[in-house]
């Protein structure tokens, strides 16, 4: 079941199952074994990503539905391909009118059969939310939107149901118990049915069944008697008021007040949300996947697909969002038994902190590979120039803070604003526990909240994994000790015993022995809720705030990355690979995903920039002066601040399309590039939350920054900028292409299972999403693959040498990709399960050579790449720099050249391209 290699496709309403079916022959020819699909179960209409799922057991009709899925599966099978799918257990899409489970909860409140599916606090400390679910969907204040007619009652004649609709988009069902208030007593028949609805509480425990019967009767009446339909229309009209006349909406307001939901402005979610969300996204509600009924229902279809061989495995989205990740994974393994002696392939989207290993007890094949993305990047970044880049950043942007401080401040900003309500709720729950013990009963909620906030701000990883067994691992204790100790130091004025209490609670030590006087379930539940909170705060504070504030070297600001780590020693790369080979040999290897902040070749190009601190400092300073307004117009509100400008300059260098590197530039191509840059910068400004935010966009500042981009790329300073910048960008781009070769070859040969993100077999100079989800020109790729296959058949060495010279068209990357995928097919055991051993080069340039040996029985390979292309360009490899090859004869799978065992000069080894994959002959 373990894939040899996967190809990730992003399904959208414009790219559905039939489009994927058409790609099957191309993917097979490229050399992957599996299609790796984005979520394709029913989602909110118009979803461009599929993570806002509304039904786990229905194929998304916007992608073609079940019949189109069957056609895709048949096409894949015909091409010899299989598939794995991205599965979303943590949350569902809510809002709109599409999730039947959520709508049932809105209609019936606590009495809904699905009320327990979602993490809802029905006992909110806010009196106006007692037994109510906050629905923060309104753009303005509730009363204002009501008076403006943005909320209106409607009757559905097909279902016999009433609902309040917000903006004609969001359905808010009215509880049938209150239908009598709508129907009134003017019509005898409606009065009778209305009385039946009002008497529903007398039908417990058959209330829902009785309600459906009454609704069905209403449907029949409307269909058979036009006067009933007219009477209902008049009743609805009486409930709805006249826009602009606030008092006319009093009836509807009174009806709404009785419901189990409370419609509110979206901003109220930050303080009063009473359901768990995915991060801070109001229309993604967290599921209680720890409940067997929820698990069984949501996994019914996918379990069937695993058992019958329709799919070979799953990528589990956002594993850290679950209350009990390990318990979930064990249940999943039990529901998807081995088939033909092989277990389904299973990887988890898990972002590891610095030095954090994947949990050894998890029954998975590994992570989805964010750590590998960054290990490859760190290998290419020159660590010798860290101090220089720190100085350049401080001089240009005036930013001298260390990243750790930026991160702490960003996490606190999230807790104080977007996720304040969750912190309040957690503090309230822990305060209740504290008051059950005389030794801690004086801790106020305010003190506990302050202490919790500081602990979370200093948390070194995304989360810990205490479960209901109450036995934390040593790693969990270490993380908690680090965070609590740092929090204790930061809040020296706070009674230190509160931190002792929190540590004991969060480790489960508080109830470790008998007669603690506390509820074991209450303590462990609070600790596990804390774990569900630290992950989203870290993700929002790190990935979606700090990464946009700390712009020293933006290539390092990547999901799963650590911006404070400016390159790493070669041995660290080898150690990580050896660790993976031993413990997670089939973990996914990725260099681009739908979530990466920058495309893989953007990062590779910026890594080349790391070799030129002096030239970069000179260029950035010169470009900044060139683009600054005239002194008379030097209004700070008319230009971005220096930190945003510094990020922008790096972004332009890293993403400049190859077709713009020459003197002749197509104006339309330049404009398209400028538009993409402006979209990325808009997101950057709002995520940074310094000058603008998503909820309160600062139009003046954003406009000034976007005008700066225009001035730079298409406006009055553009010709001067292009003339000044192109020689530098062109040089960095050429060296970056060599880094891309290194990155591609390593991803396809190190321990693990490689994934190719859609379109990335050619150059990928994308920016943050949604830029990295743009449509892919597969026809161009198929044509390029046909040409490359023919060229390689005539002579690999000549073809690759030619492609290296004409690197801009991306054929070099494509040829390497398909050649190495073919190699993985022919030497399956070697690359799937082969051992890993570092091979040290010798000589003065040894640090620029990364090499390793892989072996499975008699099958053996030595892979070598040359990093730091700037150094090689300046001085080449010294004749004494060499790679020691084991005895025997070796053939380079890339160029076809042969080498004898012994010392092979690096200059000879990398004569054509900066990589060699040597296979032992015989």
Is the sign of the CA dihedral 15, 17, 22, 27 positive or negative? positive
User: Is 670 in contact with 656 (CB distance < 8 Å)?
Assistant: no
Closest CA to 388 of 597, 609, 601: 609
Distance of alpha carbon 884 from alpha carbon 900, whole angstroms: 10
Strand order in the sheet with 170-173: 151-156, 161-166, 170-173
**pLDDT classification of 634: cutoffs 50, 70, 90:** low
Say what the pLDDT of residue 748 is: 98
Mean pLDDT over residues 143-168, rounded?
Answer: 96
Name the least confident of 181-185, 252-256, 373-377. Answer: 181-185
Strand order in the sheet with 882-892: 835-839, 849-856, 859-866, 915-920, 882-892, 898-905
User: Is 711 in contact with 579 (CB distance < 8 Å)?
Assistant: no
Distance of alpha carbon 897 from alpha carbon 911, whole angstroms: 11
User: Is 670 in contact with 713 (CB distance < 8 Å)?
Assistant: yes
- pLDDT tens, 218-261? 999 999 999 999 999 999 999 999 988 889 999 999 999 999 99
Q: Where are the alpha helices (DSSP H) in 628-698?
A: 642-655, 667-688
- pLDDT tens, 738-749? 999 999 999 999
| 185 pLDDT above the threshold of 90 | no
Closest CA to 9 of 29, 25, 27, 31: 27
- Is residue 512 packed enough to be buried (19+ CB in 10 Å), middle (13-18) or exposed (0-12)? middle
Type and span of the H or E element at 42? strand 41-43
User: Is 786 in contact with 711 (CB distance < 8 Å)?
Assistant: no
Distance of alpha carbon 846 from alpha carbon 866, whole angstroms: 9
Q: How many residues does the chain have?
A: 922
Closest CA to 832 of 590, 581, 583, 591: 581
Say what the pLDDT of residue 96 is: 94
Distance of alpha carbon 545 from alpha carbon 413, whole angstroms: 9
| 402 pLDDT above the threshold of 60 | yes
> What phi and psi values does residue 91 have, to the nearest 5 degrees?
-150, 170
Mean pLDDT over residues 528-532, rounded?
Answer: 97
User: Is 312 in contact with 82 (CB distance < 8 Å)?
Assistant: yes
Q: What is the DSSP letter of 895?
A: T
User: Is 367 in contact with 347 (CB distance < 8 Å)?
Assistant: yes
| 100 pLDDT above the threshold of 60 | yes
DSSP secondary structure string, 130-164? BT-EEEEEESS-HHHHHHTT-EEEEEETTTTEEEE
- pLDDT tens, 15-45? 999 999 999 999 999 999 999 999 999 999 9
| 629 pLDDT above the threshold of 80 | no
What is the pTM (predicted TM-score) of this model?
A: 0.96
C-alpha 571, offset from chain centre = 29
Closest CA to 270 of 413, 475, 61: 413
- Is residue 360 packed enough to be buried (19+ CB in 10 Å), middle (13-18) or exposed (0-12)? exposed
> How much is the CA Rg of the chain, to the nearest whole Å?
30
Q: What is the DSSP letter of 287?
A: B
Mean pLDDT over residues 864-870, rounded?
Answer: 97
| 630 pLDDT above the threshold of 60 | no
- pLDDT tens, 314-369? 999 999 999 999 999 999 999 887 777 788 999 999 999 999 999 999 999 999 99
Distance of alpha carbon 173 from alpha carbon 160, whole angstroms: 12
What percentage of the chain's residues is helix, strand, coil (to nearest 5)?
55, 15, 35
Say what the pLDDT of residue 115 is: 96
Give the residue carrying structure tokens 């004991």. 504
- Is residue 485 packed enough to be buried (19+ CB in 10 Å), middle (13-18) or exposed (0-12)? middle
Distance of alpha carbon 646 from alpha carbon 398, whole angstroms: 10
User: Is 912 in contact with 895 (CB distance < 8 Å)?
Assistant: yes
Say what the pLDDT of residue 516 is: 74
With both helix axes pointing from N to C terminus, report the angle between 386-397 and 642-655 in degrees, rounded to the nearest 10: 130
Say what the pLDDT of residue 313 is: 96
**pLDDT classification of 635: cutoffs 50, 70, 90:** low
User: Is 25 in contact with 72 (CB distance < 8 Å)?
Assistant: no
| 633 pLDDT above the threshold of 60 | no
Say what the pLDDT of residue 493 is: 80
**pLDDT classification of 589: cutoffs 50, 70, 90:** very high
Q: Which residues lie below 8 Å from residue 91, measured CB to CB, with a gap of 6+?
A: 51, 53, 277, 278, 284, 285, 286, 287, 318, 321
Give the residue carrying structure tokens 């960095």. 732
Closest CA to 890 of 881, 898, 882: 898
Q: For all residues of the chain together, what is the average pLDDT?
A: 95
Say what the pLDDT of residue 495 is: 86
Q: How far from each other are the two terminal CA atoms of the chain, in whole angstroms?
A: 29
Distance of alpha carbon 811 from alpha carbon 37, whole angstroms: 25
Question: How many Cβ atoms from other residues are within 10 Å of residue 206's Cβ?
Answer: 11
133, 180, 222 from 110: Cα distances, Å: 9, 21, 30
Type and span of the H or E element at 53? strand 53-59
Q: Where are the alpha helices (DSSP H) in 173-322?
A: 179-183, 188-198, 207-224, 226-239, 250-257, 269-272, 292-298, 300-308
> What phi and psi values does residue 349 have, to the nearest 5 degrees?
-80, 95
Say what the pLDDT of residue 24 is: 98
Closest CA to 372 of 603, 608, 30: 603
Distance of alpha carbon 558 from alpha carbon 351, whole angstroms: 11
Give the residue carrying structure tokens 């606030």. 246
Q: Which residues lie below 8 Å from residue 865, measured CB to CB, with a gap of 6+?
A: 741, 742, 745, 746, 849, 850, 851, 914, 915, 916
Distance of alpha carbon 441 from alpha carbon 432, whole angstroms: 9
User: Is 834 in contact with 557 (CB distance < 8 Å)?
Assistant: no
Which tokens in the block code for residue 895? 């160029």
Distance of alpha carbon 250 from alpha carbon 701, whole angstroms: 41
Q: Which residues lie below 8 Å from residue 566, measured CB to CB, with a gap of 6+?
A: 381, 383, 385, 386, 389, 552, 553, 556, 610
Q: Which residues lie below 8 Å from residue 286, measured CB to CB, with a gap of 6+?
A: 90, 91, 118, 119, 275, 276, 277, 278, 321, 532
- pLDDT tens, 266-295? 999 999 999 999 999 999 999 999 999 999
| 595 pLDDT above the threshold of 80 | yes
Q: Which residues lie below 8 Å from residue 823, measured CB to CB, with a gap of 6+?
A: 748, 831, 893, 917, 919
- The DSSP bridge pattern shows strands 6-9 and 753-757 to be parallel
Q: Which residues lie below 8 Å from residue 703, measured CB to CB, with a gap of 6+?
A: none
User: Is 696 in contact with 266 (CB distance < 8 Å)?
Assistant: no
Distance of alpha carbon 241 from alpha carbon 908, whole angstroms: 83
């Amino acid at each position: 079941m373990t894939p040899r290699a996967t190809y990730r496709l992003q399904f959208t309403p414009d790219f559905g199952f039939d489009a994927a079916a058409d790609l099957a022959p191309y993917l097979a020819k490229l050399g992957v074994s599996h299609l790796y699909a984005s979520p394709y179960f029913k989602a909110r209409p118009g979803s461009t990503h599929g993570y806002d799922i509304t039904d786990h057991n229905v194929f998304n009709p916007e992608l073609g539905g079940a019949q189109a899925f069957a056609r895709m599966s048949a096409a894949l099978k015909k091409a010899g391909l299989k598939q794995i799918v991205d599965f979303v257990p943590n949350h569902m899409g809510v809002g709109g009118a599409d999730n039947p489970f959520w709508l049932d909860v809105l209609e019936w409140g606590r009495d809904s059969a699905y009320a327990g599916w979602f993490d809802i606090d029905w006992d909110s400390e806010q009196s106006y939310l007692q037994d109510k679910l906050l629905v923060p969907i309104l753009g303005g204040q509730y009363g204002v939107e009501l008076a403006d007619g943005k909320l209106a009652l409607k009757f559905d004649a097909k279902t016999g149901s009433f609902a309040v609709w917000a903006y004609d988009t969001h359905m808010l069902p009215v509880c049938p118990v209150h239908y009598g208030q709508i129907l009134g007593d003017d019509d005898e028949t409606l009065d009778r049915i209305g009385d039946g609805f009002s008497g529903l509480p007398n039908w417990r425990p058959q209330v829902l069944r009785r309600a459906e019967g009454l609704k069905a009767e209403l449907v029949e009446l409307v269909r058979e008697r036009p006067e009933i339909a007219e009477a209902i229309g008049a009743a609805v009209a009486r409930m709805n008021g006249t826009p602009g006349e606030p008092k006319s909406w009093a009836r509807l307001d009174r009806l709404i007040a009785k419901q189990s939901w409370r419609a509110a402005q979206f901003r109220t979610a930050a303080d009063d949300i009473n359901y768990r969300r995915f991060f801070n996204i109001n229309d993604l509600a967290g599921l209680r996947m720890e409940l067997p009924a929820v698990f069984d229902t949501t996994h019914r279809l996918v379990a069937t697909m695993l058992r019958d061989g329709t799919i070979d495995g799953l990528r589990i989205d956002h594993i850290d969002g679950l209350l009990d990740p390990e318990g979930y994974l064990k249940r999943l393994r039990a529901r998807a038994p081995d088939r033909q002696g092989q277990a389904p392939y299973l990887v988890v989207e898990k972002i590891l902190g610095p030095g954090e290993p994947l949990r050894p007890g998890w029954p998975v094949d590994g992570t989805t590979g964010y750590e590998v993305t960054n290990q490859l990047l760190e290998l290419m970044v020159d660590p010798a120039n860290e101090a220089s880049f720190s100085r350049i950043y401080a001089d240009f942007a005036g930013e001298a803070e260390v990243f750790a401080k930026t991160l702490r401040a960003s996490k606190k900003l999230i807790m104080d604003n977007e996720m304040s309500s969750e912190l309040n709720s957690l503090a309230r729950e822990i305060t209740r526990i504290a008051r059950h013990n005389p030794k801690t009963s004086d801790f106020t909620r305010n003190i506990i909240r302050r202490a919790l906030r500081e602990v979370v701000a200093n948390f070194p990883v995304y989360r810990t994994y205490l479960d209901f067994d109450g036995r934390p691992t040593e790693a969990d204790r270490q993380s908690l000790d680090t965070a609590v100790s740092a929090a204790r130091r930061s809040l020296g004025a706070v009674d230190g015993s509160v931190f002792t209490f929190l540590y004991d609670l969060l480790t489960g030590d508080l109830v470790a022995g008998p007669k603690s006087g506390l509820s074991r379930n209450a303590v462990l539940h609070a600790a596990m809720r804390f774990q569900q909170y630290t992950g989203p705060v870290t993700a929002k504070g790190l990935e979606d705030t700090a990464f946009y504030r700390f712009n020293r070297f933006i290539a390092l600001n990547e999901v799963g990355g650590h911006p404070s780590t400016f390159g790493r020693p070669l041995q660290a790369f080898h150690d990580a690979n050896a660790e993976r080979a031993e413990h997670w040999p089939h973990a996914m290897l990725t260099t681009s995903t739908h979530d990466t902040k920058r495309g893989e070749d953007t990062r590779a190009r910026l890594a080349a920039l790391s070799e030129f601190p002096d030239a970069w400092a000179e260029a950035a300073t010169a470009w900044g002066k060139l683009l600054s307004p005239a002194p008379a117009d030097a209004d700070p509100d008319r230009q971005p601040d220096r930190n945003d400008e510094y990020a922008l300059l790096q972004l332009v260098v890293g993403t400049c399309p190859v077709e713009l590197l020459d003197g002749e530039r197509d104006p339309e191509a330049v404009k398209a590039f400028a538009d993409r840059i402006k979209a990325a910068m808009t997101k950057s400004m709002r995520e940074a939350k310094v000058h603008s935010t998503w909820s309160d966009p600062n139009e003046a500042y954003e406009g000034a920054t976007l005008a700066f981009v225009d001035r730079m790329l298409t406006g009055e300073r553009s010709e001067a900028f292009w003339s000044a910048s192109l020689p530098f960008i062109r040089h960095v781009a050429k060296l970056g292409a060599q880094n891309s070769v290194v990155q591609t070859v390593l991803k396809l040969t190190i321990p693990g299972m490689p994934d190719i993100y859609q379109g990335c077999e050619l150059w990928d100079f994308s920016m943050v999403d949604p830029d990295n989800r743009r449509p892919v020109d597969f026809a161009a790729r198929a044509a390029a693959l046909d040409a490359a296959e023919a060229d390689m058949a005539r002579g690999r060495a000549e073809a690759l040498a030619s492609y290296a010279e004409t690197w801009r068209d991306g054929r070099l990357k494509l040829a390497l990709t398909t050649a190495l995928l073919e190699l993985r097919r022919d030497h399956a055991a070697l690359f799937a399960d082969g051992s890993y051993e570092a091979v040290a080069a010798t000589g003065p340039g040894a640090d620029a050579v990364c090499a390793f040996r892989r072996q499975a029985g008699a099958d053996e390979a030595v892979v070598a790449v040359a990093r730091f292309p700037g150094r090689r360009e300046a001085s080449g490899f010294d004749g004494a720099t060499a790679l020691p090859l084991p005895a025997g004869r070796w053939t380079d799978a890339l160029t076809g050249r042969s080498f004898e065992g012994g010392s092979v000069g690096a200059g000879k080894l990398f004569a054509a391209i900066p990589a060699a994959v040597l296979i032992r002959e015989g």
